[in-house]
């Protein structure tokens, strides 16, 4: 980055750039305050005539497909993270583009993973101009060290959908890795040797991109049933030896945390849900894949059995733990955005009550409503929380990129959003005066559960009333913070740079905060 | 023969990828040049200056004027850093008997002789990561262990760490126990530990009442020398056939003995039998301990259950242990605590029956009757006493209110 962009202070009081990668930006205005008008963006009109009547859209290789899509300098290439750290397709596409000789691509992944660190070399060579999507590990360091030519843009899963619909990002070529596909391009994620479950992250790209390439290692004759991606949106189908490393696509076993302290937090979460009356017949909840989130479901499950309570639906990231709820008839449905382990993949393939969803159904800001706000309670993590319940999930407290936003921001719209966090990690307090990077405004965060007690946002008098008289350790957040500082000492505030290297978008596309260059 | 000179560089503590909440210190005394500290830590952006400042203070208290010190910190809390510094300096012989004590956290009320001792959680004396949150799991007691969980080369450092832990960590309402080493090493442990007023000293591998008497005398001396007025109780651990044979004399060897426990790993090894899940091989020894402690008027506490994954096995063990007459057992993982508490709680029918008897007793008291009766049945005084005790215990356990 050559020059420092102009900064403005947004409604959360954070200094944010007014221009990002050459596009003017709107600083965060407050939750629910920004409602753009006009029309949604769209892909170019196509006609059946352009496609073979026999429905066979196969091409011999990715290079041919990319050339057919008219790949050229500066284009936006998208990819998806349903194969997680095992994905081979995104890098394959970018490296093929390098071979073709194009420059200055914008890579638009739904998330990047450490195994894709090869993208650094492509940025060094000028093939990729910059990345808009989550970055962590080596890619995160590359960005926060200010080495990327453009600014990183971090969006939630729903925010990515919104950016596509708003036309802020127009995808030239979407490359979709598909565990099973037919020659027409119908694609499914829950079958095949590289099965990963839901393909939901690719849904927006398949409907809005100019060109859509499906890459598979399991081609079946038409029709591929079920189809999560509709072949009617697909231009080309490419068969390759392998789309991913199965051992890294899903974990064979689901690890529930064994740390006694984390288990204590998980149990407090479950107890809170019961005491607050949220756990009742017909309720719903969402649990992530983190160790605490998995463990909390174990405790809740026992309480549901003890009290004879059944959920209407639970939302994944699905794992063995959620699948067991379904199998033991403790929930009617799993609505699944991402499948984390083999049990989840198998269940989605075989059980019609285990339903694949996408960021469109679940999280999209421009949808006519979304599922996230229908969920009664969600349990999430965070790296930092401040005394006003503002939270950070994207950076370490020293400012380096750590996580993508994922569905985290979108999930805050649930009836009760709970952050389950240890009160300190390796002496570093989690509850701070001011978060390093604001990812979720405090008004959206209802409960913080730590091993040292539960803090309820004073804005949620209803929750405070609901647990009154329970034996739960309900405490002001400031109290927990003071106790932890007594143990750890008050931390100095790490010095951040004054040059923005990435921005954090709120679900509506406005800029919530800035990630500053470090080191 | 001249004493071997201490090595030029002495070390203490641990660091590395797998290490959490500990620190490693390498200490090299010099003759000039003041104190030079090199610090490596993930927490440097937050606590780098605090650690340097603290370290200078500790070294100053230990009388170190000139030295090169390198600290590899893995997120250790201040009381741990201080302990590792002190251990490294003392190993070099440079401290000349000086100590560096962290600020004293307010101590819980003194422990009573017959308090609840259902669960005691073992915390290895060289693993500081377990200490700070131990009380959150609400065992009745925790044991800072200087014996079997500490390597013999680490005994001196563990002693300092445990001493600092007793001063700096808030263990809430838990009883604070320390397991010392066998004598004579155990006497060195006592010298470091007793001034901090632990609630109870566990003595391993006791076979002879004289051993208890010696420890009791040493505790008494140290208490008066350091002005400790809190009681410090003793719990002997019987871990051999001879120890079991001497259970009663050991239990009455000092009025400070409040409980006797049994160590089944060593006991079964001594017998040359295999320790089983059902514990038939130790039934006699365990019953013997219960009988001796009852005769001595102290508590009988059972051994530990070593399979931390087998909660059903633990529950069965705990229930049969309570049926034999034990009042508690050891825990080697926080996850065992709740199961142990449940296993040692009186059952609802027992409580109900005891409450009826207590009500009848109170009614008889009010009416001035000497005989307590329930319906047409007369209740013997010992049954009344047992019922009173059971109701009181159930209340203390939070099973009834």
pLDDT tens digits along B107-148 = 888 999 989 999 999 999 999 999 999 999 999 999 999 999
The answer as to whether B111 is a domain residue is: no
Q: Are residues B251 and B379 in the same domain?
A: no
For chain B, the average pLDDT equals 93
Chain A CB contacts of B136 under 8 Å are 261, 264, 451-452
Buried b (16+ CB within 10 A) or exposed e, A438-460: bbbbbebbbbbbbbbbbbbbeeb
Of A247-261, B274-288, B293-307, minimum mean pLDDT range: A247-261
Q: Residue holding tokens 């800001």?
A: A365
Interface contact A427-B77, CB threshold 8 A: yes
A494 touching chain B per CB within 8 A: yes
Q: What is the 3-state secondary structure (H, E, C) of chain B?
A: CCCCCCCCCEEEECCCCCCCCCEEEEEEECCCCCEEEEEEECCHHHHHHHHHHHHHHHHHHCCCCCEEEEEEECCCCHHHHHHHHHHHHHHHCCCCCCCCCCCCCCCCCCCCCCCCCCEEEEEECCCHHHCCCHHHHCCCEEEEECCCCCCHHHHHHHHHHHHHHHHHCCCCCCEEEEECCCCCHHHHHHHHHHHHCCCEEEECCCCCHHHHHHHHHHHHHHHHHHCCCCCCEEEEEECCHHHHHCHHHHHCCCCCECEEEECHHHHHHHHCCCCCCCCHHHHHHHHHHHHHHHHHCCEEEEEECCCCCCHHHHHHHHHHHHHHCCCEEEECCCHHHHHHHHHCCCCHHHHHHHHHHHHHHHHHHHHCCCCEEECCEEECHHHHHHHHHHHHHHHHCCCCC
User: CB distance from A471 to chain B under 8 Å?
Assistant: no
Q: Is the pLDDT of residue B1 over 50?
A: no
Query: Nearest residue on chain B to A473, judged by CA atoms?
Result: B136
Instruction: Supply the Cα-derived Rg of chain A in whole angstroms.
Output: 23
Average pLDDT on B9-37 reads: 95
Same domain, yes or no: B315 and B381: no
**How many whole angstroms separate alpha carbon B212 and alpha carbon B233?**
11
CA distance B17 to A387: 32
Q: Is there a single domain that holds both residue B82 and residue B205?
A: no
Among partner residues A451, A487, A491, which is closest to B46 by beta-carbon distance?
A491
Residue B262: strand pairing partners: B238
Chain B interface disruption, residue of A298, A384, A424, A427, most B CBs within 10 A: A427
Q: Which residue of B has its CA nearest to A496?
A: B45
Q: Which of A398, A425, A489 sits opposite B78 (nearest CB)?
A: A489
Domain boundary among B325, B343, B361: B343
Nearest to A426 among B21, B49, B78 (CB): B21
Please name the residues between 396 and 415 in chain A that touch chain B, using a CB distance below 8 Å: 397-398
Q: Say whether both B178 and B227 belong to one domain.
A: yes
More reliable by pLDDT, B103 or B233: B233
Contacts of A495 in chain B (CB under 8 A): 45
Asked if the structure places residue B1 within a domain, the reply is no
Tell me, yes or no, whether B86 lies in a domain: yes
Pairwise CB contact (< 8 Å): B77 & A488: yes
Range of the structural domain that residue B354 is part of: 348-396
List the single best residue of B20, B44, B45, B165 to mutate versus A (max A Cβ within 10 A).
B45
Cβ atoms of residues B238 and B261 within 8 Å: yes
What is the pLDDT, as a whole number, of residue A336?
Answer: 92
Q: Which residues contact B367 (CB under 8 A, 6 or more apart)?
A: none
Q: If residue A360 lies in a helix (H) or strand (E), which one and from where to where?
A: helix A359-362
Are B178 and B130 members of one domain?
Answer: yes
pLDDT surpassing 70 at residue B296 = yes
Q: Which of A397, A451, A492 sits opposite B133 (nearest CB)?
A: A451
Of all residues in chain B, the one with the smallest CA distance to A488 is: B77
Is the confidence at residue B49, as pLDDT, over 50? yes
Strand order in A500-505's β-sheet? A152-154, A500-505, A511-516
Question: What average pLDDT does this structure show over B12-30?
Answer: 95
Q: Which of B92, B127, B154 is the last residue of a domain?
A: B92
Residue A338: per-residue pLDDT: 87
Who has greater pLDDT, A259 or B161? B161
Judged by CB atoms closer than 8 Å, whether chains meet at B136 and A426 is answered as no
Q: How many domains does chain B have?
A: 3
A233: DSSP letter: G
Query: CB of A164 within 8 Å of any CB in chain B?
Result: no
pLDDT recorded at residue B381: 85
- CATH 3.40.1080.10 residue ranges of chain A are 61-131+169-249, 260-498
B150 and B236 part of one domain: yes
Interface test with chain B among A424, A426, A429, by most B beta carbons within 10 Å: A426
Q: How far is A472 from chain B (nearest CA, A)?
A: 13
* Residue B48 shares a structural domain with residue B163: no
Residue B67 lies in a domain: yes
Q: Is the pLDDT of residue B28 over 70?
A: yes
Output the pLDDT for position A254. Answer: 60
How many angstroms separate the CA of residue A427 from the nearest CA in chain B? 5
Three-class DSSP category at A131? strand
The residue among A376, A396, A399, A359 whose CA lies nearest residue A507 is A359
> What's the distance, CA A279 to chain centroid?
26
Domain A260-498 coded CATH 3.10.180.10: no
Interface touch A491/B49, C-beta < 8 Å: no
Please report whether residue B401 resides in a domain.
no
Q: Which residues of A touch B338 (CB under 8 A)?
A: none
Reported as type and span, the H/E element at residue A333 is strand A331-339
Q: Do A492 and B45 touch (CB under 8 A)?
A: yes
- Cβ-proximal residues to B396 (8 Å cutoff; 6+ apart), any chain: B116
Least confident of A127-136, A265-274, B82-91, B96-105: B96-105
Whether B282 and B387 share a structural domain = no
Q: Does domain A61-131+169-249 have CATH number 3.40.1080.10?
A: yes
What's the rounded Cα separation, in Å, for the pair B131 and B116?
21
Any B CB within 8 A of A384 CB: no
Residues of B in contact with A428 (CB under 8 A): 43, 46, 75
Q: Is B223 inside a domain boundary?
A: yes
> What pLDDT is recorded for position B401?
64
* Confidence bin at B4 (pLDDT 50/70/90): low
Same domain, B336 and B378: no
> Which domain-ending residue is among B343, B360, B387?
B343
Whether A426 and B46 lie within 8 Å, measured CB to CB: no
pLDDT under 70 in chain A at which residues? 1-3, 251-254, 289, 519
Least confident of A33-37, A369-373, B296-300, B385-389: B385-389
Q: Give the pair of three-digit tokens for residue A394.
A: 């994207």
A469 touches chain B (CB under 8 A): no
Of A263, A425, A489, the CB nearest to B47: A489
A473 part of contact set with chain B, CB < 8 Å: no
Nearest-neighbour CA in chain A from B335: distance (Å): 7
Quick one: B131 and B216 in the same domain? yes
A-B C-beta contacts closer than 8 Å: 54
Apex A306 CA angle, A281 and A266, nearest 5:
85
Cα–Cα distance, B394 to B398 (Å, whole number): 6
- pLDDT for the residue numbered B400: 75
The answer, for A432 touching chain B at a CB cutoff of 8 Å, is: no
Q: Which residue has the higher pLDDT, A496 or B202?
A: B202
Based on the domain organization, do B23 and B73 belong to the same domain?
Answer: yes
Task: Identify whether residues B177 and B150 lie together within a single domain.
Answer: yes
Q: How far is B134 from chain A (nearest CA, A)?
A: 9
- H or E element at residue A180: strand A180-181
Q: List chain B residues with CB under 8 Å of A264.
A: 133, 136-137, 334
Does B335 contact A260 at a Cβ distance shorter than 8 Å?
A: yes
Contact: A398, B45; criterion CB under 8 Å: yes
Contact B42 A426 (CB under 8 A): yes
């Amino acid at each position: 980055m050559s020059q420092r962009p102009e900064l403005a202070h947004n409604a959360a009081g954070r200094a944010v750039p007014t221009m990002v990668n050459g596009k003017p930006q709107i600083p965060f205005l407050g939750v629910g305050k920004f409602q753009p008008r006009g029309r949604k963006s769209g892909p170019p009109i196509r006609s059946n005539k352009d496609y073979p009547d026999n429905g066979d859209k196969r091409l011999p290789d990715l290079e041919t497909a990319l050339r057919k899509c008219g790949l050229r300098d500066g284009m936006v290439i998208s990819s998806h993270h349903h194969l997680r750290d095992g994905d081979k397709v995104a890098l394959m596409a970018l490296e093929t583009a390098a071979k073709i000789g194009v420059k200055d691509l914008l890579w638009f992944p739904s998330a990047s993973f450490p195994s894709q660190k090869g993208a650094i070399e492509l940025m060094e060579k000028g093939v990729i101009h910059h990345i808009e999507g989550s970055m962590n590990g080596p890619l995160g360091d590359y960005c926060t060290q200010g080495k990327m030519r453009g600014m990183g843009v971090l969006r939630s899963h729903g925010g990515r959908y919104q950016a596509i619909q708003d036309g802020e990002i127009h995808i030239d070529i979407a490359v979709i890795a598909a565990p099973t596909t037919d020659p027409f391009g119908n694609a499914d994620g829950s079958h095949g040797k590289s099965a990963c479950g839901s393909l939901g992250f690719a849904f927006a790209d398949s409907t809005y991109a100019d060109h859509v390439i499906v890459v598979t290692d399991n081609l079946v004759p038409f029709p591929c049933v079920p189809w999560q991606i509709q072949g009617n949106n697909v231009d080309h189908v490419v068969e390759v030896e392998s789309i991913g490393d199965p051992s890294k696509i899903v974990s064979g076993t689901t690890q529930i945390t064994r740390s006694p302290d984390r288990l204590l937090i998980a149990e407090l979460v479950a107890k809170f849900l019961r005491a607050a009356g949220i756990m009742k017949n017909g309720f719903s909840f969402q649990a992530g894949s983190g160790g605490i989130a998995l463990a909390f479901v174990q405790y809740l499950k026992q309480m549901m059995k003890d009290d004879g309570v059944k959920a209407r639906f639970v939302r994944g990231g699905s794992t063995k733990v959620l699948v067991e709820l379904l199998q033991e008839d403790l929930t009617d449905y799993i609505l699944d955005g991402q499948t984390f382990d083999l049990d989840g993949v198998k269940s989605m393939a075989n059980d019609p009550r285990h339903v694949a969803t996408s960021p469109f159904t679940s999280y999209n800001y421009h949808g006519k409503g979304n599922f996230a706000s229908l969920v009664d309670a969600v349990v999430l993590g965070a790296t930092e929380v401040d005394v006003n319940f503002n939270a950070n999930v994207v950076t370490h407290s020293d400012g380096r990129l750590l996580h993508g936003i994922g569905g985290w921001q979108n999930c805050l719209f649930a009836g009760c959003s709970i952050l389950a966090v240890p009160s300190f990690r390796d002496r570093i307090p989690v509850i701070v005066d001011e978060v390093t990077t604001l990812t979720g405004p405090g008004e959206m965060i209802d409960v913080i559960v730590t091993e040292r007690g539960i803090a309820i946002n004073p804005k949620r008098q209803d929750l405070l009333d609901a647990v009154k008289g329970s034996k739960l350790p309900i405490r002001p957040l400031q109290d927990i913070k003071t106790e932890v500082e007594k143990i750890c000492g008050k931390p100095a505030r790490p010095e951040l740079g004054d040059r923005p290297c990435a921005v954090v978008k709120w679900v509506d596309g406005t800029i919530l905060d800035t990630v500053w260059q470090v080191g | 023969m001249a004493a071997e000179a201490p090595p030029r560089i002495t070390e203490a503590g641990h660091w590395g990828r797998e290490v959490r909440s500990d620190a490693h210190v390498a200490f090299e005394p010099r003759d000039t040049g003041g104190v030079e500290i090199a610090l490596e830590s993930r927490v440097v952006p937050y606590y780098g200056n605090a650690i340097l400042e603290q370290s200078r203070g500790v070294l100053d208290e230990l009388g170190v004027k000139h030295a090169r010190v390198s600290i590899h910190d893995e997120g250790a809390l201040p009381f741990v850093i201080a302990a590792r510094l002190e251990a490294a300096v003392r190993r070099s012989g440079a401290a000349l008997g000086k100590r560096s004590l962290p600020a004293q956290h307010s101590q819980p009320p003194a422990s009573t002789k017959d308090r609840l001792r259902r669960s005691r959680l073992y915390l290895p004396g060289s693993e500081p990561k377990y200490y700070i949150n131990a009380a959150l799991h609400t065992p009745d007691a925790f044991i800072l262990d200087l014996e079997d969980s500490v390597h013999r080369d680490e005994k001196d450092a563990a002693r300092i760490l445990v001493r600092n832990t007793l001063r700096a960590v808030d263990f809430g309402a838990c009883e604070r126990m320390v397991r010392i080493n066998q004598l004579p090493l155990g006497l060195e442990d006592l010298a470091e530990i007793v001034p901090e007023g632990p609630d109870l000293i566990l003595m391993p591998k006791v076979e002879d009442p004289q051993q208890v008497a010696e420890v009791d005398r040493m505790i008494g001396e140290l208490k008066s020398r350091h002005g400790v007025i809190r009681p410090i109780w003793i719990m002997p651990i019987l871990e051999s056939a001879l120890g079991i044979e001497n259970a009663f004399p050991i239990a009455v060897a000092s009025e400070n003995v409040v409980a006797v426990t049994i160590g089944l790993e060593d006991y079964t090894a001594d017998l040359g039998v295999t320790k089983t899940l059902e514990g038939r091989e130790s039934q006699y020894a365990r019953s013997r301990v219960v009988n001796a402690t009852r005769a001595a008027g102290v508590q009988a506490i059972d051994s530990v259950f070593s399979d931390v994954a087998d909660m059903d096995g633990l529950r069965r063990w705990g229930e049969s242990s309570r049926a034999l007459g034990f009042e508690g057992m050891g825990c080697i993982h926080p996850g065992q605590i709740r199961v142990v508490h449940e296993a040692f709680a009186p059952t609802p029918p027992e409580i109900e029956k005891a409450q009826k008897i207590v009500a009848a007793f109170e009614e008889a008291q009010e009416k001035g009757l000497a005989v307590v009766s329930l319906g047409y049945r007369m209740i013997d005084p010992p049954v009344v006493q047992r019922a009173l005790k059971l109701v009181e215990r159930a209340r203390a356990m939070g099973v009834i209110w």
